[in-house]
Amino acid sequence: MDRPKPELADIFRRYGEAYRQKSGASLSTAQRRVMTAIEVCRTAALGGHVEVCDRCGHQRVWYNSCSDRHCPKCQSLARAEWIENRQSELLHVPYFHVVFTVPEEIADIALQNKRTVYDILFRSTAETLTTIAADPQHLGAEIGFFAVLHSWGQTLLFHPHLHCVVPGGGLSPDGKTWISCRPRFFLSVDVLSCLFRRLFLKYLQQAFDSGQLQFFGSLEKLRDPHEFSFYLAPLKQSKWVVYAKPPFGGPQQVLNYVGRYTHRVAISNNRLVDIENNHVSFYWKDYRDNGQQKTMTLSAVEFIRRFLIHILPDGFQRIRYYGFLSNRHREEKLALCRQLLGMPDVDPEIAPGSQPSDYDFDELYEKLTGSSLRQCPICRQGRMVVVEILAQAVPAFMDTS
């Protein structure tokens, strides 16, 4: 008989309490809350209900989900809902995927100042793209895009970077023309890299001068202004990595592809291989070796530590929209884009926010994923009917989604 496939929740249930005791006060409230959420997700602790098939009598217990954005089991519905809301925003133009990343020295600062440095990363990236795109020597247009923050690499080490998805063109300054980019080319990554570096370091210096950055441990010496300047000096000359992937095959491919990025967590359950003898094994892709899939084994303590460094600050928005996709002008600007591109108007029934808000979870899940939670898994003919509600056994924790 095959062993059940391990899940992230199994790791936290088995080793989480010992990790809490060992870490003590160094473990933040947000990290503790996420650990608890994942541990109790889809267990009796969160309550649930008992269902019975109205045809064959099959009975099952259905436990509630934690709905935390860091939980790998709770992203499918959120991802499907996000994709559904983006359908009406697609334009009939090529789309580009541009990635902005920071040097390791900046990542070290970010690890101790997540909210501040993440905000600088978003601000610098957005200003870089909009400034270069607006320059007549490059595109000369107002672009629109969204950016998604990731903070991990394949081995769960800290590697903050932004994935930006950008339509290949934009609105002319007078708003009367759609200006397309060159075929299969958006903007020069070398130009983007230089401006991104300058803007990021400028805003980082401003954050330091205003006392927004804190340093401890190996970085404690950076509290001194001279040490901080000395630390940043080499970064002003080094090459910062910005790269653009080939354009997508079509607008729909954008959502199918990007949906994997928007609601991804640091590691998914399907990458876990084994939990044994206080160690965790998982698959990873070695991009320095032609993307070969390999297996890495870490101690349970180190695995948990690496996972927890990717917990976002409370309330932090990891998906942000800019240009003609910014929330304030999105509907108006997209309507203008569609008009200039000769696209039909959006059906009001599929526009974001037009869907009825009184769906229950099962109806919404079926609508967005195409899979029914109500069909009997045994006879495939009957429908599962709730016959008993199971009370929640633990206090509700703050929603971090």
* Residue 192 lies inside a defined structural domain of this protein: yes
Geometric angle at alpha carbon 354, from 349 and 360, rounded to 5°: 110
Report the pLDDT value the prediction gives residue 135, as an integer from 0 to 100. Answer: 97
Mean pLDDT by 10 residues, the chain (401 residues): 82 96 92 95 92 94 90 83 83 92 97 98 98 96 96 95 94 96 90 98 98 96 98 96 81 74 88 95 93 96 97 93 92 95 76 49 60 84 92 61 37
* Residue 349 lies inside a defined structural domain of this protein: no
Asked if 364 and 336 sit in the same domain, the reply is no
Are 366 and 374 in contact, with CB atoms under 8 Å apart? yes
* Residue 351 lies inside a defined structural domain of this protein: no
Are 30 and 314 in contact, with CB atoms under 8 Å apart? yes
Are 94 and 247 in contact, with CB atoms under 8 Å apart? yes
Asked if 131 and 245 sit in the same domain, the reply is yes
Report the pLDDT value the prediction gives residue 356, as an integer from 0 to 100. Answer: 47
Closest CA to 197 of 112, 322, 130, 100: 100
Report the pLDDT value the prediction gives residue 78, as an integer from 0 to 100. Answer: 78
Asked if 253 and 379 sit in the same domain, the reply is no
Report the pLDDT value the prediction gives residue 1, as an integer from 0 to 100. Answer: 47
- Please give the residue range of the domain that contains residue 165: 92-262+310-342
Largest CA distance in the chain: 76
CA–CA separation, 139 vs 145, rounded Å? 15
Asked if 116 and 51 sit in the same domain, the reply is no
Cα-flanking dihedrals φ and ψ of residue 343, to 5°? Answer: -90, 155
Helix ranges (DSSP H) in 263-357 = 300-308, 330-340
* Residue 184 lies inside a defined structural domain of this protein: yes
Side chain identity at residue 141, one-letter code:
A
Asked if 234 and 321 sit in the same domain, the reply is yes
Cα-flanking dihedrals φ and ψ of residue 59, to 5°? Answer: -120, 140
Report the pLDDT value the prediction gives residue 387, as an integer from 0 to 100. Answer: 93
Asked if 152 and 15 sit in the same domain, the reply is no
* Residue 333 lies inside a defined structural domain of this protein: yes
CA–CA separation, 215 vs 201, rounded Å? 17
Asked if 37 and 137 sit in the same domain, the reply is no
Closest CA to 311 of 41, 17, 77, 28: 28
Asked if 338 and 362 sit in the same domain, the reply is no
Dihedral (Cα; 201, 206, 212, 216), 10-degree rounding: 50
Report the pLDDT value the prediction gives residue 53, as an integer from 0 to 100. Answer: 95
Asked if 67 and 181 sit in the same domain, the reply is no
Asked if 197 and 60 sit in the same domain, the reply is no
Helix ranges (DSSP H) in 53-113 = 76-86, 104-112
* Residue 397 lies inside a defined structural domain of this protein: no
* Residue 279 lies inside a defined structural domain of this protein: no
Asked if 226 and 374 sit in the same domain, the reply is no
Give this prediction's pTM: 0.89
Handedness of CA 110, 281, 75, 391 (dihedral sign): negative
Asked if 109 and 175 sit in the same domain, the reply is yes
Domain count along the chain = 2
CA–CA separation, 118 vs 249, rounded Å? 31
* Residue 136 lies inside a defined structural domain of this protein: yes
Report the pLDDT value the prediction gives residue 262, as an integer from 0 to 100. Answer: 80
CA–CA separation, 10 vs 3, rounded Å? 13
Question: Of 318, 342, 366, which one is at a domain's C-terminal end?
Answer: 342
